[in-house]
Structure 1
């Protein structure tokens, strides 16, 4: 428990130190040196003023549900000693990453709707890009770590406590965090080197790195290649690890003689498998839809699924299909109220 508290403190410290770093760097790279613009325009999801109150209420509700649901998961895991296991330790870190992922984009969108403004500063845009990549990559890596945890639990149950020691679990989370920081810093540096002219309209509700590349006046071919290369590393390798883990898991489950044993083994990883399908399925769907459709506005609407809906649904998926989480949640809620 003490190790978890120290690790949580380390994560929060890294978060705020990184935020301070990106803001200072973005300020140092002010537009007078590299770009002719001081702000960008986020066109959002709709140009209809009558839809703005509806969008504000909808996204505010989803954001509050996301933050509350994931906070309850973190409180339940930290307060119930029965949940001090690697699986729930990784789950609490995933919930923390989901909160950061949603907080990176939705509050700015809500502020713009409320103030009837579409602007975001140059420094704010670079900071948003950095943290969007940071938490998106952290989600990706943590899902791969959780898949490995389920692989060890099902395929090597007798050695599970030895392999998934608290020290090793903490190391996996820290490696995921530092890997995410590396990718976000690379994207930050690439975007900060772009030169922009007059077209500063972003057809999205947040600063999307790919659209910034399209808006740049300078040559972005090398930046684009590097971005896809980094995406292949930090996206393709974790996905390959998840597929390999579940290939071994399914093979082990099929060798279990009893039907009850198969169901019990599958139930331990069903929630994680559902979250993986939701995360990668929606992300792949958005990518394919943006490739097929030339409408940037439709791509922005489709991206709501993986940037807003998926982090909101994760707590429900884990709590509704897990008796231990439901018991701990009810205990946490009863103590609060």
Structure 2
């Protein structure tokens, strides 16, 4: 007789990773999968993780998972081919474990291009991750603060706990809250970052760097803090619910947003570079919702809605210019 977990794995193979948060959590708690991860990590002598070693670990896990005989697999297992294996790796990346010197269990969630994922933390906090993002968090929170690390774009609905502030740490800023909902857009390596507050109150501490002085700012609902290597720090009033509407339908949606903001999101969603002069990108605004369209189709829509042209200058590099 098949177990619930076997049904989830079968769904994973057949639907290319379209698992619900509840099913993802069940797979997370599947003893066999967790045991496999633990054994893989026990075999690793180092404490840090890099992409090469992460790939080796996942490959080792896949060999063990593939070798386990689930009742539904049998000979039909191999008909799913490489696509199924890639889908499994995508899900298992959300289960990736790390151990620090204190034997604390740490989870690392990675989202790929054109994908979103939801995570519920140990304290009940809900996190929605957008494409190309990475969230690092402990299995259980301990200490005076509830700290997580983010590279990417995420929307947080934080469970209130006045005695244990919740802190989102990025390369550019630390965002501290007690109980609220907000978005952070801060990818490692980018020159800009944002914090958008929907409800409650947050304190944003912009970290000092060689190019920019730091500072501490308290945001009110519908305020956006923008950090820019070239333009410094700015506070603006926006419709935060509309600005972060991507979290609700799990699809990208823009309402009267600047081309500059849109292109930043499109680059992360599709994993391709889109070049546009700042004075052009800040001048034009657009409203649209994306479903499963190609980047070419989106840029074609933009170019037909304003006096703009776009062209592909390499396999993954577009440029947008004003018509002459």
* Greater share of residues in helix: 1
Q: TM-score range by the shorter chain?
A: under 0.3
Choose between structure 1 and 2: higher strand proportion: 2
Per the normalisation by structure 1, the TM-score is 0.21
